[in-house]
Amino acid sequence: MATIKEIANRLGISVSTVSKGLNGANDISEDLRQLVLDTAVEMGYTTKRMKKEEHKKLCIFIENMDYETPNQFGYEIILGFKQAAYRDNWDVSVFPVNPEFQEKERYDTYMLKKGFTGAFFVGFALQDAWMAQLASTTIPTALFDNYIKKNPNVGYVGTDNFEGIDSAVDHVYQLGHRRIAFLNGSVNSMVSDQRQQAFFDSMESHGLSVDKKLMANGYYVANSAKYHVPNFLAAGATAILCGNDLIAAGTIEECRLRGFRIPDDISVVGFDDLPISVHLFPPLTTIRQDRIELGKSGYYTLNSLIHHVSIGKTLLRPQFILRESTAPVRSPVKAG
């Protein structure tokens, strides 16, 4: 756990100012107080004041997603959720789960037994046991990137995948690309399904038809690229859109191994804007999901559900990030 001194050093302010921020003194500004609290949460510091309401407990269940370090996708989602929840004096626990764990005990039973008022689900797969139970749960539950029909106790938070994929298609289209491939992430994922539909919709709205040789589902890891990118290249792709930045990193690597230069021969677009994106060679053009805001929106949605305001969906806008992995199409494409 961080000390007050470490928080003070991080922010470049005095220990006494940090102390005022943590204890709610009113002779520092509200903005500064909030910054101190947010930083304390981020650094793992917990005050007695934060802990005082032991009965106010929320939890985050996470699966299929890395979140331990700042360069991983789940890290900021959890951080954003905690920052927002702590402002309202909630205690937040994080539990990694797996399919076996979900088979052992019903979701509602587990929550009641542990005394949690509500939960935020991150990274669940459509076929998970608890996902099926959410159709009728009475526990306020917010889901990142998953949707449950008609249950007023459950809400969905995510990024608008339709706008994100459309931004990517539109960008390479404006650069003259017509042979546009899409290497999507895993099947059995609502997000993959949405992005696939979004790709079809956007190609159609740009007057392009989708060549099935230029579409594939892999997994949300870099290693996926080597199974599909060679086929895309053989089929004449000049631009490859990727389901996330890790797939894009693998795609860049795979193209280079086969003698294709990025972006001169092939343009590559990622999704997420993970910290790694800017360090790739070349730096990656991508679609940003603001993960801190996603986490905060997860909390706001959950808090609304707890107060019987039935928010079914909250969608954040994605942001198009132009870097150096995309360029005007070359015609004809130079093979390696």
Residues that bind a second copy (CB under 8 A): 149-150, 152, 160, 163, 166-167, 290, 293, 296-297, 300, 309-317, 319
CB of 159 to a second copy, least distance (A): 9
CB of 156 to a second copy, least distance (A): 9
| Cα distance between residue 284 and residue 287, in whole Å | 10
- Would you list the DSSP string of 248-290? HHHHHHHHHHTT--TTTT-EEE-SB--GGGGGSSSPPBEEE--
| Cα distance between residue 90 and residue 93, in whole Å | 10
Closer of 4 and 165 to a second copy (Cβ): 165
Q: Report CA 243 to chain centroid distance, whole Å.
A: 12
| Cα distance between residue 320 and residue 327, in whole Å | 15
CB of 125 to a second copy, least distance (A): 23
Q: How many CB atoms lie within 10 A of CB 329?
A: 21
Closer of 33 and 296 to a second copy (Cβ): 296
Q: Report CA 124 to chain centroid distance, whole Å.
A: 12
Closer of 11 and 316 to a second copy (Cβ): 316
Closer of 265 and 290 to a second copy (Cβ): 290
Q: How many CB atoms lie within 10 A of CB 120?
A: 27
CB of 292 to a second copy, least distance (A): 9
CB of 29 to a second copy, least distance (A): 16
Closer of 164 and 185 to a second copy (Cβ): 164
